[in-house]
Amino acid sequence: MRKSQNSLSFKKSLSKRIVIITTIAIFTIIVAICGALFAINRMSVDREPENNTPYETSTDRNSEKGLPGSDYATGNTEDTDTRDPNENSDSPPSPRSGTPAIEVSSFTQNNDTVNIKTILSSVKGSGKCVFTFSKDDTKPLVKEVKSDGKTCSASAKTAEFSKLDIWTLTIAFYSGSKKVVDTSLNVTIN
C-alpha cells in the first residue's frame, strides 16, 4: 500500500511540475512577443523618410495673388490647392491638412527696408525661422527670428544686400535643430 501512495504522490508532484513549467513557458513567450512588438513599433516611429526632408516642402503661391517681388519660378510645383474648383474666391490656396507649410503673406519694400511676413500651417510648437537671401557669386544675407509656430516676420535694410537685383529667398522653419519645412521664391530688391 505504501508503494501505491508513493506512486500517487510522485504523479501529483509531476503534474504540478508540468503545470508550473508550462505556465513559465507561456509567460516567457508572451513577454518575448510584447518586447518584439515594442521594438518594431519603436523602430518605425524613429525612422526618417528616405529623402532626408522630414516633411514635404511647400510652395509659395503669392505670385498668383500678385504680390510685388514674388516669382512662382522655384519651389515644389505639386498642386496643394484644397479649394473647391467651382468656388469663386480671392483667398490663396491652402496646403493639404496636416502637411507643414510656409505661406508668404506679404513681401514689401518701403524706402530702404524689405519686410517679409509668413504664415506657418500645421506646424507644432515654437521654433525659429531662417530667411536666406541668396544670389550667385554673392555672400548670402541670413536673418534668423524666433517663431511661435504660427507666423514669422523679418526685415532687412537694402544696404545689407551686395547688389540690387533679383534674389532667391528661402524661408525655413526649424523646431530645435530639425528643419520642419521650407520654401523658396524669387524676390526683387531695388
Q: Is the CA virtual torsion 73, 79, 80, 82 positive or negative?
A: positive
The total number of structural domains that make up the chain: 2
Looking at the DSSP bridge assignments, the partners of residue 113 are 110, 157
Tell me whether residue 53 is in a domain.
Answer: no
CA within 13 Å, CB half, 152: 28
Residue range of the domain that includes 165 = 62-82+91-188
Residues ≥6 apart with Cβ < 8 Å to 125: 149, 175
- DSSP letter, residue 49: P
The reply to whether 174 and 109 lie within a common domain is yes
pTM: 0.51
The reply to whether 8 and 73 lie within a common domain is no
* pLDDT tens-place string over residues 78-130: 444 444 444 444 444 444 457 888 999 999 999 899 999 999 988 888 999 99
C-alpha span between 178 and 173 (Å, rounded): 9
H or E segment to which residue 8 belongs: helix 2-46
The reply to whether 184 and 136 lie within a common domain is yes
